[in-house]
Amino acid sequence: MPSDMGGGLDERGAAAELARLREQINYHNYLYHVLDRPAISDAEFDALMRRLHELEASHPELVTPDSPSQRVGGRPLDAFGTVAHEVPMLSLGNAFSEEELRSFDRRVRGLLAGEPVSYVAELKIDGLSVSLRYEGGVFVQGATRGDGLTGEDITQNLRRVKSVPLRLGLGGLAREVPRDLVVRGEVYMPVPEFEDLNRRREAAGEPLFANPRNAAAGSVRQLDPSITARRALDSFLYNLVLADGAAEAAAGVPGSHFARLAYLRDLGFKVNPESRLFHDIDGVLAYCDQWREARHSLPYETDGVVVKVDSIDQQRRLGSTSHAPRWAIAFKFPAEQGITKVRGIFVNVGRTGAVTPVAELEPVRLAGSTVSRAALHNEDYVREKDIRVGDWVVVHKAGDVIPEVVTVLTERRTGDERPFEMPEHCPACGARVVREPGEAAHRCVNSLGCPAQLAEGLIHFASRAGMDIEGLGSAVITQLLGAGLIADAAELYRLREARDKLVSLERMGEKSTDNLLEAIDRSRGRPLHRLIHALGIRYVGGRVSRVLARHFGTLDALMRASPAELTRVPEVGEKIAGSVSRFFSEPRNRELVEKLRLGEVNMVEPRRDVGVRTQGGAEAGGQLGFFGPDAGPGAGSDAWSAGRPRHAAGAAEPFAGKTFVFTGTLARAERREAESLVESLGGRAASSVSSRTHYVVAGENPGSKLDKARELGVRVLTEDEFWSLVAGGGP
């Protein structure tokens, strides 16, 4: 008998509805994760998923491997099986200079006896190479490269990568999807997710990943697929492997590699948009030069450019050696490594009390900047690498961002080098430094009175990811603490009363003081998720802060939540729930919240589908505002009503998937306020213009960003057009 959850449907009716639901959900997953162009709100998508789970629970016999429900959960694997690659996954030869790339071109043209040759240049993604098999358009198997002939079966984990389609044909391909095909590409971890993951691991006292590639490989090779699902992995697919030419012709597969990339996109795969077709090697070299520096602006890691002969027929005739194809080569960017000397090792005390060793280095130039320090993470890291004061070491920038010691050049030791010992007492307050069982980090036990923890906590509170208080950096915070003007974050909001003392501080003056006070005033209106993140609750990063703010709506509701209630929130496990509950059970933390409330700091999260009005009327030049749900007294409503953004009921994100860049001076808001508004509506505010920018908003006296937008064909909005977009509920 059909269950109530199944809505009284018989098996035939349930199968028909399930087919419709899966098609809808797969399509919307494709729009969101591949095209970055969502068409429905989160709430509407969640409703589709709930209905799918209800029907599948009522009719388990109808669950299929390509169902979107198979992306989450999953039983831990006992071990990975092996997969034999029908077509070997070969490595690529490397070129490290212009001459080596030109030599590759000469070899190709020599073997092709004067035929015209075109090349496709693709960014070389620094991730984990994978092979995906589809039968009848359904994903059935995924494997690692392994030794090129045999790889590990990671099918269940690849189902958790949301840009990997479980069923093909979502990209609008009119032709029939090939019955059997294998697609190859890279699974990678975006740099922002890598940095967030390492922050969470550091807070938990867990070992850090060295770079995004290691993090991606470790995430894909988890025996528990639910761990893979929790990490925001992504993919780029770049090669279509079919059995023979006849099968390709029957399926209408193009004979050009560049056209095949478009074909893969039509099938529903995510393909890197930066790939380009060139008809000579000079164009390829210019492309390599372009990305040598521009790669640092990408949200993923790339260590070079892969160059491939475009014609598939020419590829087949060129063939391969036992190790690498003759028709492709990897141009590697110059290594971002350097050799320098460790002058000393000292320790930093973080906001959670973590005592972290740091190497002081003789300055060395890396990835466009001078490096004089490198994080050593924890005592185990120093011991494992045997890093000593006086050592010569190889350093690089992990992810081209974080300076890190790669290895010690022990052959250069003279005997004068000194091993590092973790201090027994905190250098900031003298309290004991302890290492709890099961943790990698040492911590200062003086969480209430340690000035270093207080200073770091204030830096975190004022950071862009927190309350975004422009001008309140570590130097100013140190001065405020030293002058006795603040003792906690809430006292920032009383600094107007001490303006005269502020002006007298070194390098402050009248203008700097007023700018700082205005920045602090603006921060009162930040959305709740910024405040939650700014409070520095252990294990609660930016993503979890948003989840908690959206779920509970107000800080009061979050503070009242029990651990059991917290664990019912998606993405919140027992560790996070326990940390949040403990944080708000501490009297000093509750006292801080009440002081922030008295400082008129907003404690309400804006809702997502927005009704907009203009306060005072558009002709009167009033400020943009949002009318919304009950944000009563004491919940920060006064701060919001003072001309700051406020949202109406609902859960849509009208700017989801859209990137905005602001240039020039805005008349109706500070730039940071406009950027925060974009983010609160689900969009992204970037600082530079690229081909991935959707809109550039030009105020008065715009700068070079406007020229760049016109050069790239990015749509330019006037300030009035931007506010009209907001008022109209999005693009």
DSSP for residue 564? H
Active-site entry in 124, 270, 658, 705 = 124
- The answer to whether 388 touches 419, Cβ cutoff 8 Å, is yes
Torsion, Cα of 685, 690, 692, 695 (10° steps): 50
Quick check: helix, strand or coil at residue 484? coil
The rounded distance, in Å, linking the Cα atoms of 559 and 539 is 16
| CB-based contacts of 284, cutoff 8 Å, min separation 6 | 101, 119, 121, 278, 305, 307, 331
According to DSSP, the residues that pair with 280 across neighbouring strands are none
According to DSSP, the residues that pair with 181 across neighbouring strands are 134
What are the φ and ψ backbone dihedral angles of 315, each rounded to 5 degrees? -60, -45
Torsion, Cα of 261, 264, 270, 275 (10° steps): 0
Place of tokens 């029907």: 55
The rounded distance, in Å, linking the Cα atoms of 577 and 582 is 9
- The answer to whether 177 touches 149, Cβ cutoff 8 Å, is no
Q: Give Cα 26 to chain centroid, integer Å.
A: 22
Return the ∠ at Cα 271 (arms to 265 and 273), rounded to 5°: 110
Q: Indicate the angle between helix axes 11-33 and 42-58, nearest 10 degrees.
A: 150
DSSP for residue 710? H
Tell me, yes or no, if 162 is annotated catalytic.
no
Burial call 174-208: b when 16+ CB within 10 Å, e when fewer: eeebbeebbbbbbbbbbbebbbbbbebbbbebbeb
According to DSSP, the residues that pair with 393 across neighbouring strands are 340, 408
Burial class (CB in 10 A: 0-12, 13-18, 19+), 621: exposed
Paired tokens of 723: 């506010």
User: Which H or E run includes 139?
Assistant: strand 138-144
The rounded distance, in Å, linking the Cα atoms of 130 and 128 is 6
The alpha carbon dihedral of 698, 702, 703, 706 has a sign of: positive
- Taking CA atoms, 29 is separated from 23, 38, 298, 483, 707, in Å, by 10, 8, 23, 54, 35
The rounded distance, in Å, linking the Cα atoms of 85 and 151 is 7
CB atoms within 10 A of CB 94: 12
Paired tokens of 581: 């509950």
What are the φ and ψ backbone dihedral angles of 149, each rounded to 5 degrees? -105, -35
The rounded distance, in Å, linking the Cα atoms of 522 and 510 is 18
Q: Supply the residues annotated as catalytic.
A: 124
